[in-house]
């Protein structure tokens, strides 16, 4: 699932993912990877002038020293993404250091504040926990300190309601979307209605309420309520994106709302817990389970008849494209401001032709 209307080939990832047999073990938080020499222009000395859409370009002194600030290394999506980035960095002699906030926006704020103050890294690659509280820090303070910022997975500065180039925040290099542009979320709900019809009684088991995905879903639902009044969202529950909370929230929801015909989960770890709760309630045939993520476990559940539809996400591709954009920048090439996902729908009819990345 990647990016916009441009063609994306993910076959080059096969070697990366094959070497990431270590993926399951690559779940550490702060850890170094790579070295300071390298190919693709990253080892050269000198300075690169980078236009970040403000009055003054940022002067980046090579080689790159990249601090990677992730929000979700404690989830399977993040584990796979970080593992692929570490493998790619080792192959290209990139210097990476990882910091995981595990969905704690205060922790990430402190991590970034320290990085800007000590300037140990000349590039900050950031997957925000919540893009509003760190907006000024990353779009104003960091460039003022001469630090280049690349943003991925969630937008900065309330730009999560925008589409296309408007998702990019001036002061930063670019924005790479992992899966949850507003248009993609709309397409997801539209695919659900087209596949199963709008006459549904729905429960949504989503992630943390500070996540921009929460607000995108809320906006799309408001639009759907007008367009499809019979698409009735009867219950919404928040979780920490874990399978355990997905299970508990779904179990509680099914008991409180026995008339549900559909449960929607915007992340595969949540889906796994929801599937168990639905199965235990004896409602696998009467309650359709909808996923966003399409990981290996979800694929297995779909083949067993427990998941009705999923939208794939490709964490390894996202992470590698972050690094590829930084290499291109270091070589003096123009980097696209926004890279957005393609959209695919996976159902039991085509699941055999789909290969998940995590």
| pLDDT tens digits along 236-292 | 999 999 999 999 999 999 999 999 999 999 999 999 999 999 999 999 999 999 999
Same domain, 24 and 167: yes
Identify the helix (H) or strand (E) that includes residue 100: strand 95-100
Q: For the beta carbon of residue 197, count every other beta carbon within 10 angstroms.
A: 12
Residues 6+ apart with CB under 8 A from 222: none
Burial class, 87, CB count within 10 angstroms (exposed 0-12 / middle 13-18 / buried 19+): buried
Residue 355 lies in a domain: no
pLDDT tens column, 71-102: 877 777 788 899 999 999 999 999 999 999 98
Same domain, 133 and 214: no
Residue 4 lies in a domain: no
Same domain, 147 and 280: no
Residue 255 lies in a domain: yes
Alpha helices in the chain (DSSP H): 13-19, 76-91, 105-118, 135-136, 142-144, 182-196, 212-227, 243-256, 268-280, 296-303, 315-330
pLDDT tens column, 276-298: 999 999 999 999 999 999 999 99
Domain span at residue 124? 13-178+315-339
Residue 349 lies in a domain: no
Same domain, 308 and 320: no
pLDDT tens column, 139-188: 999 999 999 999 998 899 988 878 889 999 999 999 998 676 788 899 99
Q: For the beta carbon of residue 208, count every other beta carbon within 10 angstroms.
A: 17
- pTM score of the predicted model: 0.77
Residue 351 lies in a domain: no
Same domain, 57 and 80: yes
Burial class, 45, CB count within 10 angstroms (exposed 0-12 / middle 13-18 / buried 19+): exposed
**What's the total number of domains in the chain?**
2
Same domain, 24 and 164: yes
**SS3 letters across 103-140:** CCHHHHHHHHHHHHHHCCCCEEEECCCCCCCCHHHHHH
């Amino acid at each position: 699932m990647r990016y916009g209307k441009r063609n994306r080939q993910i076959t080059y990832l096969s070697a990366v993912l094959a070497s990431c047999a270590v993926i399951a073990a690559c779940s550490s938080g702060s850890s170094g990877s790579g070295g300071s020499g390298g190919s693709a222009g990253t080892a050269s000395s000198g300075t690169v002038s980078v236009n970040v859409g403000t009055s003054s370009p940022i002067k980046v002194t090579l080689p790159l020293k990249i601090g990677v600030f992730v929000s979700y290394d404690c989830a399977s999506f993040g584990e796979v993404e970080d593992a692929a980035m570490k493998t790619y960095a080792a192959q290209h002699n990139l210097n990476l250091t990882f910091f995981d906030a595990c969905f704690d926006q205060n922790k990430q704020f402190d991590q970034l504040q320290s990085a800007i103050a000590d300037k140990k890294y000349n590039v900050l690659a950031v997957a925000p926990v919540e893009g509003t509280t760190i907006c000024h820090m990353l779009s104003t303070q960091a460039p003022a300190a001469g630090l280049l910022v690349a943003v991925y997975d969630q937008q900065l500065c309330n730009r999560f309601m925008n589409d296309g180039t408007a998702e990019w925040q001036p002061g930063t290099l670019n924005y790479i979307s992992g899966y949850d542009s507003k248009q993609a979320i709309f397409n997801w709900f539209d695919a659900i209605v087209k596949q199963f019809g709008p006459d549904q009684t729905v429960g949504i088991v989503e992630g943390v309420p500070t996540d921009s995905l929460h607000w995108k879903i809320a906006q799309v639902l408001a639009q759907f309520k007008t367009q499809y009044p019979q698409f009735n969202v009867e219950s919404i529950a928040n979780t920490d994106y874990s399978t355990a909370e997905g299970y508990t929230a779904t179990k509680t929801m099914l008991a409180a709302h026995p008339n549900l015909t559909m449960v929607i989960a915007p992340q595969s770890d949540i889906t796994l817990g929801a599937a168990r709760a639905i199965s235990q309630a004896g409602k696998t045939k009467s309650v359709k389970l909808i996923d966003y993520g399409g990981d290996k476990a979800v694929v297995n559940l779909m083949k067993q008849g427990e998941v009705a539809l999923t939208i794939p996400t490709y964490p390894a591709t996202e992470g590698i494209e972050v690094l590829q954009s930084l290499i291109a920048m270091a070589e003096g090439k123009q980097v696209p401001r926004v890279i957005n996902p393609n959209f695919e729908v996976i159902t039991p009819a085509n699941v055999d032709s789909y290969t998940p990345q995590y």
